[in-house]
Structure 1
């Protein structure tokens, strides 16, 4: 589900832009409505009615999900990781036009290509997390993302170099989605087994907080320093997420009570 959300997030923009440019803004809303109806019908047909559900989490378990330090650390990793990504991604279209010199129609195709990269990254990131574990996968992807954002800082004004950087960056930008979800579920099963679904949902909420954070930071960066400065600012935010992943991985190796950072109560 999380993978579908991220792919839709980055492919919806170019599709909407394409429809708006060629048919008008009303048709864009019509297309969104049609897709919504298709999604509803597909859910009614394809989603089984007899999926076994977990017992409802108690209020105490829900409060632990909201307050447990180890889970809060993962929510922070998610919010900061995507906050860094969206600091640059929010302004990717104007950067590709004003700095790299692409036409508006070309930018729509670039964003679509970025969306394809994101889809590839979701699948690849999941396999990486399965093979090497969530923490190892997250460390590698976040580290690569920091490097790529810094590279984009240098290539943003170089036509085809900017394009290549953006397409590669798409693979890594959302490749950590599976690892983050696996990790939060693992920690929730360890520390709050009665509210695993709640923890997973809060991690998705942290993703949305990251989008808002990135948009705000990116907007302030553009206003104060210009479009060209968003990639390195985003890289610094992702670097904080990487450091938290390293810390969390070290805490995982400690005895359970020590790693929890607080009494189990």
Structure 2
């Protein structure tokens, strides 16, 4: 593995820990701050909204810097903003700190996706992107369970201290291992890059990224109460359950990268979303059986993260533009719209009294919508190719 890609993976590790650990710590945070679990779930949505806001704004504002310097600056912001969660005295300030800590997330993955594809050997672009995103999956495999354990047995504030330390290590790795790259040539006003939104393909990508991954977040946002209240698994075993989910995500990420290099990214996305629907339905009907629930935790982890590499490559290939950093940043930004929607919509049936298995039907609906949008995207581009537009 190239060390330059490893430095991107380290950034993904830190981002993955801060994004997903809060899900396993929801009961602990809720008890400590004297709020309900659904209200604590808004901490997930606040972070996701920060990603949505920060991705395009930070990419554009750092347009004059080289990709390497941009990545380092983004990780500096990530480290400082996550440090705010360590000292947040109440729910309102923690909610605000979660929002600002999400700002660098989308920009880092957007710039990182372009850098990874440039560093990749020809024909292995999706696998290079998958290496960067492997940091997210390693986070779910090791970082999130460790953070969950620390949050449950000591304090969730110590978990955010761990995240800040990972950020510091990433800054050092980027400085030492990332090759120097030329800054984009000055094209005048960088805000003109927003003209990409005149392209219909961009809006299809926004819709797919904003809806399809919602199945992941409708499921994993409430995995802690699902396992303890429905499957009857003791709360002390939650870190190991997060390891199992993380192992599935790690495997799924690599599988998705290989599939999208071997087949078309669009076909891979549709097939994986179909598998997600099957997993969501099976969770609903088997969650009352602990061993079946654990099996589905692994398989759903595979399904939900296998979609990341093909979706990212589909995005990069969908729009030919000099504003490639902005285009790439749309993926993580809209992915976190799906995060916010999945967590928010998944909490509604719980509040209505339908139980902790009810968010799986939200996941089914979001994955099905993703398939429909993907098919419309394919139909549109076949028509454009046929008419020569």
Conserved? CA contact 1:146–1:239, under 8 Å: yes
Counterparts in 2 of 1:85-96, with a 5 A limit?
Answer: 85-96=216-227
> How many residue pairs were aligned?
256
Equivalence for 2:205: 74
Determine if the alignment matches structure 1 residue 142 to structure 2 residue 142.
Answer: no
- Which residue in the other structure is 2:361 paired with? 232
- 230-239 or 50-59, which deviates more: 50-59
Distance 1:87 1:187 in 2: 27
Q: CA deviation at 1:5?
A: 5.9
Query: Is the Cα contact below 8 Å between 2:140 and 2:247 reproduced in 1?
Result: no
Aligned partner (choices 119, 137, 153) of residue 7 of structure 1: 137
Whether the 8 Å contact between 2:215 and 2:304 is mirrored in structure 1 is no
> Offset at 1:84?
2.3
In structure 1, C-alpha distance between the alignment counterparts of 2:288 and 2:384, rounded to whole Å: 50
Ranges in structure 1 where 5+ consecutive residues have no aligned partner = 261-265
Matched, 1:214 2:342: yes
3-state SS of 1:227 partner: coil
* Secondary structure of the corresponding residue to residue 306 of structure 2: coil
For 1:99-155, what per-residue CA distance to the aligned partner results, in whole angstroms no more than 9, with x for missing partners?
A: 111111212111112112111111110110110110110011011101111111111
TM-score by length of 2: 0.61
Deviations 1:201-221 (A, max 9, x none): 111100111111111101112
Match status 1:45 vs 2:176: yes
Cα distance 1:131–1:228, how it changes in 2: closer, same or farther (>3 A)?
A: same
- Contact between 2:342 and 2:362, CA under 8 Å: does it hold in 1? no
Alignment of 1:181-260 (within 5 A): 181-189=312-320, 193-224=321-352, 225-256=354-385
The alpha carbon displacement at 1:53 in A equals: 4.3
- Counterpart of 2:153? 22
Q: Give the match's secondary structure for 1:157.
A: coil
Alpha carbons of 1:170 and 1:207: their partners in 2 closer, same or farther (altered >3 Å)? same
Counterpart of 2:242 (choices 79, 97, 111) is: 111
Tell me: CA distance 1:91–1:62, structure 2 relative to 1, closer, same or farther (3 Å).
Answer: same
Aligned residue for 1:174, secondary structure, equals helix
What is aligned with 1:263? Answer: none
Superposition pairs of residues 150-169 of structure 1, within 5 angstroms:
150-169=281-300
Task: Classify the secondary structure of the residue corresponding to 1:140.
Answer: helix
8 Å CA contact 1:88–1:231 kept in 2: the answer is yes
Q: 2:101 corresponds to which residue? A: none
Point out the more displaced range, 30-39 or 54-63.
54-63
Cα distance between partner residues in 1 of 2:388 and 2:206:
17
CA displacement at 1:232 relative to structure 2: 1.5
The aligned residue for residue 165 of structure 2 is: 34
Instruction: Tell me, yes or no, if the aligned pair for 1:14 and 1:112 is still in contact at 8 Å.
Output: yes
Distance 1:25 1:139, change over 3 A: closer
Q: Highest relative contact order (Cα 8 Å, sep 6+), 1 or 2?
A: 1
What is the distance in 1 between the residues matched to 2:388 and 2:344? 33
Do the aligned residues in 2 keep the contact of 1:142 with 1:242 (CA within 8 Å)?
yes
TM-score calculated relative to the size of structure 1: 0.88
